Amino acid sequence: MKTIASWLTLALFGLVLGGCAAVGAGSGGAGETEIRSGKIEEITQTQMQTNHDSGVGAILGGIGGLGLGSLIGGGTGRDVAMVAGALAGAAGGNYIEKKKYDQPVDAQQIIVRTQSGVLVQVTQSINPVLRKGMNVYVEGAGNEARVVPQS
């Protein structure tokens, strides 16, 4: 038993030290952003889904449902009513939050030809300054990529 505890302690210590390891320079560590430059070839108006799923609606709905469920019955029946109320309230609160705040917003799909000749497509909130033929920077990568004008 002592051997198992020793190995588990050693493994945990190794994981903690591994989590504290510094990220090497140039490997996309904290604070680094990839920036590419190029020219806008095309801009198309579109819509994109927002990501306002904060969970506040589900939490508030669950608390409200729990409170209402606690007013029903007594004993085990009351416990069941509280759980059912919390679940129903959470589902209802989540639905209301999505219905009100998770609506598509106007956006623009921008295609940039970088200096290396690669085409990069970015969908982002509308930036009225951007136009076809403009020299721009493409900052970041993936869902975090943004097109900004060169100054």
**Mean pLDDT, the chain, integer:** 80
Q: Alpha-carbon distance 102 to 96, whole Å? A: 10
Same domain as 78, residue 43: no
Q: Alpha-carbon distance 79 to 148, whole Å? A: 56
Same domain as 80, residue 62: yes
pTM (two decimals): 0.50
State the DSSP code for 70: T
Same domain as 109, residue 94: no
Same domain as 66, residue 92: yes
Mind listing the pLDDT tens digit for each residue in 30-55?
Answer: 666 678 899 999 999 988 877 666 78
The answer to the question of residue 15 being in a domain is: no
Domain extent, residue 128, equals: 28-49+104-149
The answer to the question of residue 19 being in a domain is: no
Structure tokens, 63: 């608390």
